[in-house]
């Protein structure tokens, strides 16, 4: 799985395309979504039909057609913008310093959605990977107006980012829907910028193919699954540049942020979007605080599966029937774990009465089921004996 925006730099392309996962999700890419086919919205009116006699004697007909889709697009497309990631190109080390001028150049183009206007400012949600590494970010409105954007915050775990721009020229703001009530087969519309700004405001249609899909992510690109992202599945054709675009329901409401695709030779029509109900609390934190506040135990950890068998018995003194768990490598001073008495080489096997078998499961439990300040009951083996610890979760810095 890799990032997949419209990009002009080789460095960006390598970052966007190089990585992959194993199993079914191998080759999945973080991208934006366009939707093929036609929704089931019925044509509401046909007007202004005329017949003209051409020079050759052939008759031509002009018909203006409106439908549910065209009306929704007319009402919502102004809230979808282009987002350009600008980075300073690497300087020639052999050129004279007086001749060198650091200029920001386009490193990638994605999409974004205006979700709020407050006073003189407007706020935009996009993907983290759209603005990652940017020195500057530029937003392009539907009418071509270009605005300098401030990145208020980014979150790598949900692949979301929030931008702020001057709101003087902004008139359309997206309305949040409710992604929890979506059903398979429900029609949706996607608006974004496939292949960059030359195709800005492209509109495609499709359906919800599935909800609550889990997609593995390798956050640090080390070949190990770090997180599982819950996404909406659509029967979407995916193109570079749609990242961060809008997935709209039949009521014209924003129900997803387009982000990923499954990219395999034998796979067609599996596009993925971040559900808006998942995105809203992250957006709120990024706008207000610049980061998402997640709880921390105050420990560095490692999957027990990565520890060779001989060390499990000689150093960890684990019973032979303990095959899964999380090894504590270090404990931060003054952390909740330190105050609870946890030590290096403790092997965690249970949180709040629920078994945990891997770092991924521990992280998902902390981030999804707890909050800063909660008390966590931990069971861990130390020198072959199962012990109980009670610790208070602090903020992950």
Asked if pLDDT for residue 63 goes beyond 80, the answer is no
Q: How confident is the model at residue 297 (pLDDT cuts 50, 70, 90)?
A: very high
User: Is 286 found in the same domain as 150?
Assistant: yes
- The whole-angstrom separation of Cα 247 and Cα 219 is 24
Report pLDDT for 199. 74
More confident residue, 374 or 38: 374
Measured at the CA of 279, the angle between CA 277 and CA 280, to 5 degrees, comes to 70
Decide if pLDDT at 33 tops 70: no
The residue written with tokens 């420990």 in the block is 299
Is 129 an active-site residue?
Answer: yes
Q: Please, which residues have CB within 8 angstroms of residue 269's CB and are 6 or more apart in sequence?
A: 36, 209, 235, 236, 237
Helix (H) or strand (E) holding 272: strand 271-275
Q: What is the pLDDT of residue 97?
A: 57
| pLDDT-based confidence at residue 397 (cuts at 50, 70, 90) | low
| Catalytic residue (one of 243, 259, 335, 394) | 243
Residue 133 in any domain: the answer is yes
Residue 245 is predicted with a pLDDT of: 94
The answer to whether the CB of 80 falls within 8 A of the CB of 191 is yes
Residue 135 pLDDT greater than 80, yes or no: yes
Q: Decide: helix, strand or coil at residue 278.
A: helix
Give the model's confidence band at 248: pLDDT under 50 very low, under 70 low, under 90 confident, else very high. Answer: very high
Q: Please, is 381 exposed, middle or buried when counting C-beta atoms within 10 Å of its C-beta (0-12, 13-18, 19+)?
A: buried
pTM: 0.77
3-state helix, strand, coil in the chain (%, to 5): 20, 45, 40
- 253 and 344 inside one domain: no
Q: Considering the candidates 6, 7, 12, 129, report the single residue annotated as catalytic.
A: 129
Asked whether the predicted pLDDT for residue 232 surpasses 50, the reply is yes
Q: Is residue 92 part of a domain?
A: no
Instruction: Give 65-117 pLDDT, tens digit per residue.
Output: 667 889 999 999 999 999 999 998 766 666 655 555 567 888 889 999 999 99
CA distance linking residue 245 with residue 230, whole number of Å:
17
The pLDDT assigned to 195 comes to: 73
pLDDT of the residue at 36: 32
Are residue 131 and residue 77 in the same domain, yes or no? yes
HSE toward the beta carbon, residue 282, CA cutoff 13 A: 25
Residue 130: which of 34, 244, 19 has the closest Cα? 244
What's the CA dihedral at 262, 265, 269, 275 to 10 degrees? 0
Looking at residue 365, its pLDDT comes to: 94
Mean pLDDT, all residues of the chain: 82
Domain extent for 363? 295-395
> Do 274 and 299 share a domain, yes or no?
no
Q: How confident is the model at residue 40 (pLDDT cuts 50, 70, 90)?
A: very low
Q: Which residue has the higher pLDDT, 64 or 296?
A: 296
Instruction: Report pLDDT digits (tens) over 253-285.
Output: 999 999 876 666 666 667 889 999 999 999 999
172-215 pLDDT, tens digit per residue, is: 999 999 999 999 999 999 899 877 777 787 888 899 999 989 88
Is the domain of 203 the same as that of 314? no
Catalytic residue (one of 159, 235, 285, 346): 159
Q: Which of 265, 292, 319 is the last residue of a domain?
A: 292
Q: What's the number of domains the chain is made of?
A: 2
122 and 179 both lie in a single domain:
yes
Average pLDDT over residues 32-38: 34
Domain presence at residue 251: yes
CATH number for the domain including 214? 2.40.10.120
């Amino acid at each position: 799985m890799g990032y997949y925006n419209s990009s002009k730099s080789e460095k960006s392309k390598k970052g966007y395309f190089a990585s992959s996962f194993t199993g079914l999700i191998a080759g999945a890419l973080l991208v934006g979504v366009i939707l093929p086919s036609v929704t089931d919205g019925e044509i509401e009116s046909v007007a202004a039909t005329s017949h003209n006699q051409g020079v050759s004697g052939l008759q031509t007909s002009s018909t203006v057609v409106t439908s549910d889709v065209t009306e929704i697009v007319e009402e919502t497309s102004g809230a979808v913008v282009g987002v350009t990631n600008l980075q300073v190109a690497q300087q020639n080390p052999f050129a004279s310093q007086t001749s060198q001028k650091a200029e920001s150049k386009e490193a990638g183009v994605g999409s974004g959605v205006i979700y709020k206007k407050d006073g003189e400012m407007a706020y935009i949600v996009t993907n983290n990977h759209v603005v990652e590494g940017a020195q500057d970010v530029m937003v392009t409105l539907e009418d071509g107006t270009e605005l300098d954007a401030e990145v208020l915050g980014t979150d790598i775990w949900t692949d979301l980012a929030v931008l702020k721009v001057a709101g003087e020229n902004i008139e359309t703001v997206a309305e949040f829907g409710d992604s929890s009530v979506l059903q398979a087969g429900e029609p949706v519309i996607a608006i974004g910028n496939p292949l960059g700004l030359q195709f800005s405001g492209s509109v495609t249609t499709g359906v919800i193919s599935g909800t609550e899909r889990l997609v593995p992510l390798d956050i640090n690109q080390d070949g190990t699954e770090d997180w599982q992202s819950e996404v909406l599945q659509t029967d979407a054709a995916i193109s570079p540049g749609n990242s961060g675009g809008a997935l709209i329901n039949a009521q014209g409401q924003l129900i997803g942020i387009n982000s990923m695709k499954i990219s395999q030779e034998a796979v067609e029509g599996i596009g993925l979007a971040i559900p808006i109900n998942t995105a809203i609390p992250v957006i709120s934190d990024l706008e207000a605080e610049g980061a998402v506040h997640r709880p921390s135990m105050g420990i560095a950890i490692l999957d027990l599966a990565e520890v060779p068998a001989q060390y499990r018995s000689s150093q960890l003194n684990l019973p032979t029937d303990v095959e899964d768990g999380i090894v504590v490598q270090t404990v931060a001073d003054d952390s909740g774990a330190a105050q609870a008495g946890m030590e290096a080489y403790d092997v965690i096997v249970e949180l709040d009465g629920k078994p945990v078998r891997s770092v991924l499961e521990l992280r998902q439990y902390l981030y999804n089921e707890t909050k800063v300040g909660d008390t966590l009951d931990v069971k861990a083996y130390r020198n072959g004996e199962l012990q109980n610890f009670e610790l208070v979760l602090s903020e992950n810095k």
